[in-house]
Amino acid sequence: MNKASTKLSYTCKLNVCFGYILQNKETDEFRYYYSSENTSVLPKPQLVCNFKVFKQKFDFFDFDIVDHLTNFLDNTKWSFYCLNNISLFATQILGNPMGNNENTFPDYIKNSHSVWTLEKNRDGQHYNDNLCFFDGVAAFLLKAQYDLANKTYELFQRYIEETQVDEARFDGTFLPEVPLLEEIFGLQF
């Protein structure tokens, strides 16, 4: 799962489904159930926009697969035999990059005089520091790109102090944090 999730470069809707085999206790007959919507972990696919959300929604360490797969059986003659396969179903939502620094903005955005894309830093390197929220706030506050890196770092440090988040483990800001971010910076987003 970790390998699959790190290859996601676009926002998508995800669900995980299982293929498994049941055995009849009386006849030793086997029945195979292929990966499908009927064997999915979640009732409907979930929107996933970054690796942190993926881990939160698909944390299998506290998940009893056997119980999940057998709780809908109509009788007790059948018992779980083995898990045959796990399928990850991803429906890509085009045009919604997940912050992958290999993605670039479309030309109509890059060439717009009204939009600062903040695609590369002053050294010409793609941003890969997960500070895009703070870059945007800094650009708004400064009304220019001059001294953006220093202002971004200053805002980030303020966030770290207020939230007590471990700077080394920081992997970006997320939509549910907006009320807290508004409170910290005294702005409405």
Residues 6 or more apart whose CB falls under 8 angstroms from that of 139 comprise 116, 118, 145, 148
The string of DSSP codes covering 41-58 is SSSS-EEE-SHHHHHHHT
Would the pTM of this model clear 0.85, i.e. be above it? no
> 5 vs 18, 83, 100, CA distance in Å?
17, 21, 12
- The pLDDT-based confidence of 184 (bands split at 50, 70, 90) is very high
Identify each DSSP E strand in 78-143 by its residue range.
Answer: 78-97
- In which residue are the tokens 């489904």 written? 17
* 86: its two tokens: 């796990």
Domains of the chain, residue spans: 2-96, 104-185
| Average pLDDT of the segment spanning 147-169 | 90
pLDDT of amino acid 58: 63
Higher pLDDT, 17 or 8: 17
pLDDT digits (tens, 9 = 90+) for 19-40: 999 999 999 999 998 888 777 8
| Rounded CA separation 21/17 (Å) | 14
